[in-house]
Amino acid sequence: MEDYKEYFPKSKKVYFDHATKSLPPSVSLINLKPSRNYNHSFSEIARSNQKLYLSIKSKLSQITGLNKDNIALLPNRNIALNLIFHSLKLNGQNTVITSISEDTSIITPMIKLFDISFFEKSDSEYTDIDILIYSCIDNITGQIKSFDKKNKDQIKIIDASFNLLTYNVKKHNADIIIAELSIDALSPLPLCMIFIGEAYAKLQNPFPSDGNIQSYNKNRYIFHNDISSMELGLIDYNVLHAFEKALDFSLQIGMKNIFDYKSSISKYLQSKLSHISNLSVLIFPHLQNDILSHLSIQVSNAHDINLLLDEISNIEVRSGELCSQIGISHYGLDNLIRISWHLSTSKNDIDYLIDELIRIFEILN
């Protein structure tokens, strides 16, 4: 199995936690540039940033198939969620539903604004709702989730942070797509994308923001009346420049090759884990199980195993509530270890993880 490990920074540790998802390729890191160049005027810097914004949106469009004119860039996912909720003028009168195993970072902005309900296995019984919002990938098990709108008036919002560059997000037919680009899209620092479908293309930003400058003179600026008005917060040129290099890297490899590689890694890891009797892979039967984005294993003494993997094996995994406290509590789960992978993961990394898990089980026994 050919791997892409040579294109990523060398490390003494083997990463199987979420750092795997945000580990940028070397070409991105070496292209980090100073945030400001004081030899240029503010207008020159603004034009340079605007050009970079447009270039990144065009490349995100190539990767996702989404219309570049409907893509906006924001500093992080929480800002994006709050902006969307306020722009839609949602309040306590709205009926909002989400899946019970969502990431806390999705749920927290919602509970600040309105009451939310949770669906567990199917959304089929929830026809009288205003907003359907969920992550494409289950935060606990890594399985694919997909739910349909029940009527044309419902608003469907999805979080594609875990799979923006891996699966076809267009097939979800969402009105609004949110994606933290430092997770699956290899941005070296926090950065978020929102896509707003045609039905909500004229959505107004309730916070002061004018968008991209069309022209200006000494008296006033004239702004584009486009989605750039949704772009709150100043994104460092440093981040944008490095992220564009990460996108170039992904485009050079090709989306099909990325999907095929992650698919092969997923199957190889599941096959190797199936031969270890001390653990079981957690799977929700109501979700698709063909390809996983990450997986969680149930073991005894998960926290101890996590520490030993770190201290004696230099392997990083994730244990605990996995940022899904509500789902973990609802399903009565404990002793979970989550294993994540990406292009930086090799077959040799997986072999080493399996060998060290077996060794640690022997130590604990």
Q: Which residue has the higher pLDDT, 22 or 185?
A: 185
Q: Which of 201, 228, 252 is the last residue of a domain?
A: 252
Half-sphere exposure of 190 (CA within 13 A, CB side): 9
Q: Is the pLDDT of residue 348 over 90?
A: yes
Picking from 82, 101, 98, the residue whose alpha carbon sits closest to that of residue 90 is: 82
What is the pTM for the complete model shown?
A: 0.89
- pLDDT of 115 reads 78
| Start-to-end C-alpha separation, the chain | 34
Lowest model confidence (mean pLDDT) among 31-35, 109-113, 141-145, 156-160? 31-35
Averaged confidence pLDDT in the chain? 84
Looking at the structure, tell me whether residues 248 and 266 fall in a common domain.
no
Q: Which residue has the higher pLDDT, 363 or 44?
A: 363
Q: Which of 252, 274, 306 is the last residue of a domain?
A: 252
Looking at the structure, tell me whether residues 56 and 170 fall in a common domain.
yes
All residues at 6 or more sequence positions from 233 whose CB lies less than 8 Å from its CB, including other chains: 74, 75, 79
Looking at the structure, tell me whether residues 68 and 130 fall in a common domain.
yes
Q: Which of 233, 252, 271 is the last residue of a domain?
A: 252
Question: Per DSSP, which regions of 217-288 are E strands?
Answer: 221-223, 280-281
Looking at the structure, tell me whether residues 104 and 228 fall in a common domain.
yes
Question: Per DSSP, which regions of the chain are E strands?
Answer: 14-15, 71-74, 96-99, 116-119, 131-135, 155-159, 176-180, 192-196, 213-216, 221-223, 280-281, 294-298, 315-316, 318-319, 336-340
- pLDDT of 180 reads 92
Residue at 208: amino acid letter:
P
- Return the percentage of the chain with pLDDT > 70, whole number: 86
Q: 295: domain range? A: 5-25+254-364
- pLDDT of 42 reads 47
In contact, 192 and 79? CB cutoff 8 Å: yes
In contact, 136 and 145? CB cutoff 8 Å: yes
Looking at the structure, tell me whether residues 280 and 230 fall in a common domain.
no
CATH number of 343's domain: 3.90.1150.10
- pLDDT of 171 reads 85
CA distances from 338 to 3, 6, 213, 291, 322 (A): 22, 25, 45, 16, 8
In contact, 222 and 212? CB cutoff 8 Å: no
Looking at the structure, tell me whether residues 120 and 175 fall in a common domain.
yes
CATH number of 33's domain: 3.40.640.10
Looking at the structure, tell me whether residues 222 and 108 fall in a common domain.
yes
**Hunting for tokens 């469009």 — which residue is that?**
61
Residue at 212: amino acid letter:
N
Q: Return the top range by mean pLDDT from 21-30, 115-124, 232-241, 354-363.
A: 354-363
- pLDDT of 338 reads 94
How many angstroms separate the CA atoms of 323 and 321, rounded?
5
Domain count, the chain: 2
- pLDDT of 219 reads 60
Looking at the structure, tell me whether residues 14 and 59 fall in a common domain.
no
- Return the percentage of the chain with pLDDT > 90, whole number: 36
Looking at the structure, tell me whether residues 17 and 89 fall in a common domain.
no
| pLDDT tier at 229, thresholds 50, 70, 90 | confident
In contact, 144 and 137? CB cutoff 8 Å: yes
Looking at the structure, tell me whether residues 244 and 340 fall in a common domain.
no
Mean pLDDT value across residues 190-207: 86
Q: Is the pLDDT of residue 358 over 80?
A: yes
Per-residue pLDDT reduced to its tens digit, 266-307? 999 999 999 998 888 999 888 876 667 889 999 888 999 999
CA 170, 234, 188: angle at the middle one, nearest 5?
60
| pLDDT tier at 38, thresholds 50, 70, 90 | very low
Q: Is the pLDDT of residue 14 over 80?
A: yes
Mean pLDDT value across residues 179-186: 89
Q: Which residue has the higher pLDDT, 279 or 108?
A: 279
Mean pLDDT value across residues 354-365: 92
